[in-house]
């Protein structure tokens, strides 16, 4: 049976969406799209430049445009930015067009991976605020997800393999 046509990976910054998404796409024989990369290509600016020059709202508009475009593609794995769940319009697009996988990685692990990364403007704050953002968004991720995957101590390769298996099993239902 055909595997799900469009897969979206959601989760907090540093949860591994892009790396795992790339491997997952290969494993399922689909194309891979990273929404942040698409936004940067289209605008000719880095995410930080977009935030600094035009503000977060403008970035969010571009993000929704990129998500809509991805929703029109066939056989694709999409890695979404961590803030994709902030807009109800995005939640609707995800719900109607994608099989949504939430990468459920604890805050401490995400933070360890992204700490000091200047390319992520949402990190320009203190750890407490970031933890609040994480906690608030976690509920949104859980609500939006068709499947929640919690990586244990495993490689990104085996996370992608396990997610692929879950997706293929869902197809048998």
Q: Which residues bind ligand S3P (CB under 6 A)?
A: 13, 17, 36, 47, 81-83, 120-122
Query: 64 or 162, CB closer to ligand S3P?
Result: 64
DSSP assignment of 15-83: S-HHHHHHHHHHHHT-EEEEHHHHHHHHHTS-HHHHHHHH-HHHHHHHHHHHHHHHHT-SSEEEEPPTT
Query: 4 or 17, CB closer to ligand S3P?
Result: 17
Query: 13 or 164, CB closer to ligand S3P?
Result: 13
Put the strands of the sheet holding 147-149 in their side by side order. Answer: 31-34, 76-79, 6-10, 99-103, 147-149
Residue 25 in tokens: 């796409």
* Three-state DSSP class for residue 103: strand
Query: 129 or 169, CB closer to ligand S3P?
Result: 129
Which residues are CB-neighbours of 121 under 8 A, at least 6 positions away?
47, 48, 51, 52, 56
CB of 81 to ligand S3P, least distance (A): 2
Residue nearest to ligand S3P (CB): 81
CB of 38 to ligand S3P, least distance (A): 11
CB of 46 to ligand S3P, least distance (A): 10
* Three-state DSSP class for residue 161: helix
CB of 33 to ligand S3P, least distance (A): 12
Query: 140 or 167, CB closer to ligand S3P?
Result: 140
CB of 34 to ligand S3P, least distance (A): 8
């Amino acid at each position: 049976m055909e595997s799900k046509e469009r897969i979206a990976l959601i989760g907090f910054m540093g949860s591994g969406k892009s790396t795992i998404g790339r491997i997952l796409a290969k494993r399922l024989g689909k194309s891979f799209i990273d929404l942040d990369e698409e936004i940067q290509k289209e605008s000719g600016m880095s995410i930080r430049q977009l935030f600094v020059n035009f503000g977060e709202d403008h970035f969010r508009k571009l993000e929704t445009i990129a998500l809509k475009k991805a929703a029109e593609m066939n056989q694709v794995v999409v890695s979404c930015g961590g803030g994709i769940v902030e807009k109800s319009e995005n939640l609707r697009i995800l719900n109607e067009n994608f099989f949504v996988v939430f990468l459920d990685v604890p805050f401490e692990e995400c933070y360890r991976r992204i700490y000091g990364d200047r390319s992520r403007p949402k990190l320009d704050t203190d750890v407490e605020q970031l933890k609040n953002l994480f906690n608030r968004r976690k509920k949104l991720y859980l609500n939006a997800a068709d499947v929640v995957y919690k990586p244990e101590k495993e490689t990104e390769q085996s996370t992608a393999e396990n997610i692929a298996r879950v997706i293929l099993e869902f197809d048998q239902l």
